[in-house]
Homo-oligomer: A and B are copies of this chain.
Amino acid sequence: MSDGAKGKVAGSVLARVPKATFRAHIADGLRAAILNGDIEPGAQLVETALADQFGVSRGPLREAMRQLIDEGLLIAVPYTGTHVVGLSVDDVREIYSMRVTLEIFAFEQIWARRDQAFRQGLVARRDALTACIDAEDDAASIVAELQLHGFVYEATGHKLLIRTWDSIRGRLQLYWAAHHRAHGIRGPRRDGHDRYVEMALSDDFDTLKSEITDHMARGGRQTEDFLRGREARAAAQSP
C-alpha cells in the first residue's frame, strides 16, 4: 500500500481529482471480486481478513462495504456478519421487470434527440458486443452488454435515471456472472441485440417498446429456468 501517497509536487493543473481516497479504491476492488466470482454468493466477508488483504485498516474497509451494501451486493446483519447476496428467482424477475420500465422510459426521454452521435455510439457498442459473442468470451460479453444498455441510460442525461440504473446494474451483473459460471455460454445471442438496436434507431416507438418487453422476457425466462433449477437443487440438498 501507500505507493503514490507522497506526491507533493504535482500541482497538476488539469486534474481536478482531489487525491483519491482508499475507500473508493477498495469498493471498486471488492465489487470487481464479487462480480468476477472470486467471492461466491452467500460467502461471508470478514472485515479483519479483508482489511489485511487490501492492506488497510478496518475503517475504510467498513465504509467500502457499506457502499456495496447500499448497491445491493452485500447484506449485513449486526454483530453477526456480512454476506454476498444470493439472488432468488423473484429477485431476478424484479430486476427484469424493472429494466423494461426503465429502459422504455429512457427511450422516451431521448427519442426526439437521437442524433448522429447517439446512433453511432449505439451501433459501435452493438458491434463490440457482437465481437465478444463471436469470440465466445463470456466475461467480455457481459461487460459489453452492460455497456450497450448503459449507453442508452447515459444518453438521456437523466441523472436520477442513471443513478437508478447503477443501483440495478450491480445485481444484474452479479446474476449474469453466476449464470455464466454455471452454464458456460450465456444468454446474449446476436440476433436479439441486432433487432434491439435496429428498433432503437427506427421511428416506431411502439414497436421498440414491445421489442424491449420481448427482449427482457426472453432473458427473464432463461434466468428463471436456471434459478429454479438451482433452488430446487439446493432444496434437495440442504434439508
Closest to A65 in B: B63
Given contacts A70-B67, A101-B102, contact A160 B95 (CB under 8 A): yes
Q: Does B18 lie within 8 Å of A94, measured CB to CB?
A: no
Which residues of chain A (104-161) have a CB below 8 Å from chain B? Answer: 105, 109, 158-161
Name the prevailing secondary structure of the A interface residues: helix
Known: A66-B66, A98-B105, A163-B167. 4 other contacts (CB 8 A): A18-B77, A59-B59, A101-B102, A164-B164
Q: Does A78 lie within 8 Å of B21, measured CB to CB?
A: yes
A interface size (C-beta, 8 A): 33
Residues from chain B with a CB closer than 8 A to the CB of A91 are: 159-160
Tell me whether A168 is interfacial, beta carbon within 8 Å.
yes
Q: 9 tightest CB-CB pairs across the interface, nearest first? A: A70-B70, A94-B160, A101-B105, A18-B78, A21-B78, A98-B160, A63-B66, A94-B158, A66-B66
